[in-house]
Amino acid sequence: MEENLNKIKERLESQISKIQEMNDLDKFKSEILGKKGELTQILKNMKNYDENERRKVGKAVNDAKNNIEAKIEEKREIIKKIELSKRLEKIERIDFSLPVSDELGSLHPITVVQREIEEIFRTMGFTVEDGNEVETEYNNFEAVNVPKYHPARDMQDTYWLENGQLLKTQTSAAQNRIMKKYGAPLKAIFPGRCFRNESLDASHENTFFQLEGMMIDEDISVANLIYFMKTTLSEIFKKDLKVRLRPGFFPFVEPGFELDVSCMYCNGEGCKVCKHGGWIELCPCGLIHPNVLKMGGIDSEKYSGFAFGLGLSRLAMMKYGINDLRYLNSGDLRVLKQIGIR
Ligand code: FA5
């Protein structure tokens, strides 16, 4: 019996050594070690042996089964390695003679508008600064005159981190750092991604872009603010636009305004986009509150300044005629194709 078993083992091992594919190995395993397999059949046919012999043969057959199973698993590892190297070989073999796809990448509409505005402000002597996305509560709120428990905080609910910091709700969060970095006089713009815990709709996202600007010098007035905004917006929309100011409240400016621009679609005559009013609300702004200047280390007796916070995502929507802000974050390439950036 022992001799017979050794022969079976040798034969099975030789069969295993010839197997190349994982599927074949699995099939072999279930056939050989399964109910109908040769070794199991020996166990089934032991009725005629006496008890002592049955025990001996049973042990020998089980050892042989374990041995074959171990060989099968060894072979499995070898096949896995071979399959992996075949896959890697395929990846490395790039066929440079294949035709190139015409689906080339492009800049996102927000990036296009952002770069355009940056260029316009650079030509007017402004520096372009970076802001953080994770901010301190101080920079996002206190340093712009919104102390704890101020009702204005309710308008900008955000996402808090376990360490007490937050995802910035407004580009104004960079004002304090920039004032401390440069002092006065100062001319800077700072675009950036903002976050708010909002109910989403066609004009509200939880993640959107703003572009903020600040100019601080002696004798800065609302006239300077109007000049810079009118020049910039006319450049962006490539037509001579009118701007108007309405009173608006933001704790970090005094006086504060909502800046409207004459509708670029109907030239102020009234259409669906401007809801027949001839004006589009575009950008909150105002003269920087003395408290904000002081917290930024600037002498508020000597210097004054203006600040504005353009909704960059909404501006991109307007420029490209996109009717739902959520498309901009959707990653849907059809949006880019349709607006003709690609
Ligand atoms: C502010 O965030 C002020 N920090 C702006 C400012 C700066 C005022 C400097 C004065 C001086 P407001 O919450 O209105 O203001 O947001 C400014 C612009 O960001 C809005 O006009 C809008 O275009 C855009 N915006 C605000 N919330 C969202 C949102 N959920 N989704 C998309 N755009 C938004």
Ligand 1 atom, smallest distance to 198 CA: 30
Ligand 1 atom, smallest distance to 285 CA: 10
Q: Is 210 in the pocket of ligand 1 (CB under 6 A)?
A: yes
Q: At CB < 8 A and 24+ separation, what contacts does 333-337 make?
A: 335/109, 336/106, 336/108, 336/109
pLDDT below 50 — which residues of the chain? none
Distance CA 39, CA 4 (A): 11
Distance CA 141, CA 152 (A): 9
Report pLDDT for 61: 84
Collapsing DSSP to helix, strand or coil, 232 comes out as helix
Report pLDDT for 335: 79
Ligand 1 atom, smallest distance to 169 CA: 2
For residue 242, which phi and psi values (nearest 5 degrees)? -95, 150
For residue 118, which phi and psi values (nearest 5 degrees)? -55, -45
Ligand 1 atom, smallest distance to 155 CA: 13
Write the CA distances from 60 to 43, 46, 64, 67, 199, integer angstroms: 10, 13, 6, 10, 72
Half-sphere exposure of 265 (CA within 13 A, CB side): 16
- Residue nearest atom 7 in ligand 1 by C-alpha distance: 309
Report pLDDT for 99: 77
Tokens of 95: 């066929």
- 335 Cα to the center of ligand 1, angstroms: 24
Residue type, 48: N
- Residue nearest atom 25 in ligand 1 by C-alpha distance: 311
- Residue nearest atom 22 in ligand 1 by C-alpha distance: 311
Strand partners, 186: 216
Q: Is 313 in the pocket of ligand 1 (CB under 6 A)?
A: yes
- Residue nearest atom 5 in ligand 1 by C-alpha distance: 309
Q: Three-class SS string for 102-143?
A: CCCCCCCHHHHHHHHHHHHHHHCCCEECCCCCEECHHHHCHH
β-pairing, 127-128 vs 186-195, is: parallel
Tokens of 279: 């004006």
Tokens of 243: 């701007």
> Pseudo-torsion of CA 276, 260, 192, 220, nearest 10°?
180
Strands (E), 99-185: 127-128, 134-135, 166-167
Which residues, in sequence order, are CB contacts of 12 under 8 Å at separation 6+?
A: 32, 38, 68, 71
Distance CA 168, CA 189 (A): 17
Residue type, 321: G
Beta carbons within 10 angstroms of residue 279's beta carbon: 18
Helices (H) and strands (E) in the chain, counts: 11, 9
Residue 219 burial by Cβ neighbours in a 10 Å radius (0-12, 13-18, 19+): exposed
For residue 271, which phi and psi values (nearest 5 degrees)? -155, -175
Report pLDDT for 341: 63
Report pLDDT for 9: 85
